[in-house]
Amino acid sequence: MQPFSVKRAQVEFHNFASLGEPERNLRIYAEENIRRRTVIRRHLDFIGEMTPFLEIGANAGHSSYMLANEFGAEGFALDLSADSLRHGRALMDAWNLDRAPIRLAGDAANLPFADQSLRFVCAFQMLSQFMDIEAVFREVHRVLQPGGVFLFAEEPVRRQLSLRLYRCPYYNTMKPWERRLHDWGLLGYLVRDVIGAHQEESFGIRQNHTMGLADWDAVVGKYFAEHEYEVFVPERGWGERIVKRAASELRAARWLGGTLAAVCKKKGSTGSSAGLRPAGLTNFERFLRCPDCHASLSNDAGDNLLCGSCEYRAPFEGQVYNLLPSAERRELYPGERDDIIDFSVPSHAEHLLGEWYDLEGIHGNKYRWIGARAAVRLGRVKPGPQRLRIRGHASPPGIPGGVRAIVNGSPAGSWKLDRPGLFILETDLPDAPEYTVEIQASPTWTVPTDDRTFTVNLSMIRLVEAG
């Protein structure tokens, strides 16, 4: 299972990333669907019937919309982030779609589905976010019908030819020398794992890039009777092109890494579970189970999912059912709380002290620029040691720069910023019922079209449990 701190980081990151830049994300989602439909079409005969399907780690659910509208399948899109899934409304409008998956917030390692209830499960670019990847395989195997298929793709294959010196960010935040090496195909020989892992790791999301081809094959063979593989090896410049063309596909994948797509079939025949596979998903709740007690769920007149054995209830909020276990749901989706300042929530203004610049941004990416300093008030709502967590963004004019936190009048943390882009800062706090936090940033900079003085912008300030 993932640590709770990692789940919290994933929810925060996906809310921010999926909702913050809709036009850019629509383009990325469309590009991803081109790659994914190509893989699916090449293996259609092996996959067979897709209804009912489940996509785990679905993000905005764009690939689930593809399955529903291009392949005529019916099923579910599941992600830890309910807000990411709500972005599907924008997808339907932008792409003129007629059909939508049923969207569920849930945990891939604790799926809210009945045993042997699904025909097809897919996952794209998400297994590597689990340190225990096998935990997801166990759950997928449990919910698949006999003869059902699990397709996973875009999963990293560990690279052997690398000095593993450091983690490197995405291309748009690389330093000039890193971009030059990347364009020549040489950067991969230096970095520890997948290029771009630095950004998600800095957010608190853990990355599992330890799986080589043999490791993936071992876990597939443990849970599935048949499989088909595709390996995609990078070719970024002459430094990788030379090696790739001098070796076989499998050897090049071992040396240079890349990504793996696998289509895995569970032992048995779908005929033994035909009773769980109606023509449509009109009564979709029959496929689900309570995340707290694992009993069956029903759907009431108000479109709420209810458990008949315990008091679990999941309302239909923004076209998404939140089917996380109760304890996790309370913490991952706390709503308005005195220890959280989320700039995308209107009530955040009540916590601000002194002068702040106006609110900017859209959807889940709302923020406020600050000058040399700004202050907020946070109230404590939970016992135990606390940490301060600050989420913000640094722009090139302020790099290199720095951020300091003064808490209740005393220095609490100091950080150097050497790259533009998103940053997450954390520091331990002394025991206190309330915290006045002053954030100082440098250097200041200006632009000709604005009379304000800028440093960084901030989108979330909150308390989290230490440890």
Q: Is the dihedral of CA 447, 450, 453, 456 positive or negative?
A: negative
d(C-alpha 358, C-alpha 356), whole Å: 7
Residues 305 and 356 grouped into a single domain: no
Residues 322 and 347 grouped into a single domain: no
- Could you report the per-residue pLDDT of 193-206, keeping only the tens digit for each? 887 777 777 777 77
* Residue where one domain finishes, among candidates 292, 326, 360: 326
CATH of the domain at 70: 3.40.50.150
Residues 285 and 151 grouped into a single domain: yes
Q: What is the CA radius of gyration of the chain?
A: 23
* Residue where one domain finishes, among candidates 273, 293, 326: 326
- Could you report the per-residue pLDDT of 364-408, keeping only the tens digit for each? 678 999 999 999 999 999 999 999 999 999 999 999 999 999 999
pLDDT higher than 90, residue 466 = no
Is 332 within the bounds of a domain? no
Residues 316 and 387 grouped into a single domain: no
Residues 313 and 366 grouped into a single domain: no
Residues 456 and 354 grouped into a single domain: yes
pTM equals 0.87
d(C-alpha 114, C-alpha 423), whole Å: 40
Provide the percentage of residues in the chain whose pLDDT is more than 90: 73
Is 335 within the bounds of a domain? no
Domain ranges, residue 42: 4-326
pLDDT tier at 12 (50, 70, 90 boundaries)? confident
Provide the percentage of residues in the chain whose pLDDT is more than 70: 95
pLDDT higher than 80, residue 22 = no
CATH of the domain at 356: 2.60.120.1320
pLDDT tier at 280 (50, 70, 90 boundaries)? low
Is 334 within the bounds of a domain? no
Is 331 within the bounds of a domain? no
Average pLDDT of span 297-322: 93
d(C-alpha 16, C-alpha 30), whole Å: 19
Residues 215 and 319 grouped into a single domain: yes
Residues 289 and 358 grouped into a single domain: no
Residues 166 and 286 grouped into a single domain: yes
Residues 110 and 22 grouped into a single domain: yes
Residues 412 and 283 grouped into a single domain: no
Q: What pLDDT sits at residue 299?
A: 92
* Residue where one domain finishes, among candidates 302, 326, 350: 326
Domains contained in the chain, number: 2
- Beta-carbon count within 10 A of 336 CB: 11
Residues 175 and 26 grouped into a single domain: yes
